[in-house]
Chain A
Amino acid sequence: MKRMKRSNEPIFWSLFGAGGVVASMVAPALVFITGLALPLGLLAPEALGYERMRALVGSLPGALLLFVVISLTLWHTMHRINHSLHDVGINAGLAGKVVFYGLAFVGTVATAYFLFVARR
């Protein structure tokens, strides 16, 4: 009897789950601060100014926080969009996995690289 091929779904589901926790706990506050409070003048422009952000990225906890938020949110959303394709009648199969998980992977590598550059 042929052995059943092991599914790789648990890996992607774990990343989806971890991303879901990060996205739901942190995203509302972060979106409000960077996208609304700052441009609308509820926070001083220097609050997220160049010097302060360089200091944030320069600290290890700050860089790790940004890396975790960006990469896990990407894995979370790409997993969900890939699975939603079926709901709207598109059966992308392996191609969908390659495209969406590929995007999440590229985004993760890019985040690590540019954080590294910004820390120098």
Chain B
Amino acid sequence: MTARNTYVRPMTGWYRRNPHFVAYMLRELTAVFLAAYAGMLLAGVIALSRGPEAYAAFQEFLASPLSVGLHVLIFIAAVYNAYTWFRISPKAMPPIKLAGKRVPDRVIVVSQFAGCAGVFIVMLLLAGGL
């Protein structure tokens, strides 16, 4: 049997071919930053379980320029991930009916953004001691 010489379309750098693919890959990339943040919270819990000195060292790390820079990236990733999640959720979940009529996608999307903003304000107030 002779080796076939079929054309195989190269796939390297496929995500640069179309702006939708770029947006898709950026969204997938947010997972790396969110995972890092989950690890950061876990590190905080571990520090807390070890006592006041360990927790103070953790807080010192949070105040370092490296940490602040990292958290700026994590914050951007978290906001972008939330934006894509809220926009896609009406397509991913079963239709919600109110008084026999289907709730329009736009209402679902907007109410999620409002809910997220509400959570933001409440958590800031709670952290600040009201």
Interface residues of A (CB under 8 A from B): 17, 20-21, 23-40, 43-45, 47-50, 53-54, 57, 66, 69-70, 73-74, 76-78, 80-81, 84, 87, 89, 107, 110-111, 114-115, 117-118
Contact A31 B37 (CB under 8 A): yes
Q: Does B100 contact A (CB under 8 A)?
A: no
The CA-CA distance from A21 to B128 in the complex, in Å, is 25
Contact B78 A28 (CB under 8 A): yes
Contact A35 B71 (CB under 8 A): yes
Contact B124 A27 (CB under 8 A): no
The CA-CA distance from A25 to B79 in the complex, in Å, is 9
Contact of B31 among A26, A70, A76 (CB under 8 A): A76
Chain A residue with Cβ nearest B70: A35
Chain A residue with Cβ nearest B36: A77
Contact B120 A84 (CB under 8 A): no
Most buried by B among A24, A48, A66, A117: A24
**Residues A34 and B44 in contact in the complex (CB < 8 Å), given A27-B78, A73-B34, A80-B28:** yes
**Residues A39 and B78 in contact in the complex (CB < 8 Å), given A28-B116, A115-B45:** no
The CA-CA distance from A26 to B78 in the complex, in Å, is 9
Contact A48 B38 (CB under 8 A): no
Contact B38 A77 (CB under 8 A): yes
Contact A66 B41 (CB under 8 A): yes
**Residues A29 and B120 in contact in the complex (CB < 8 Å), given A50-B56, A53-B48:** yes
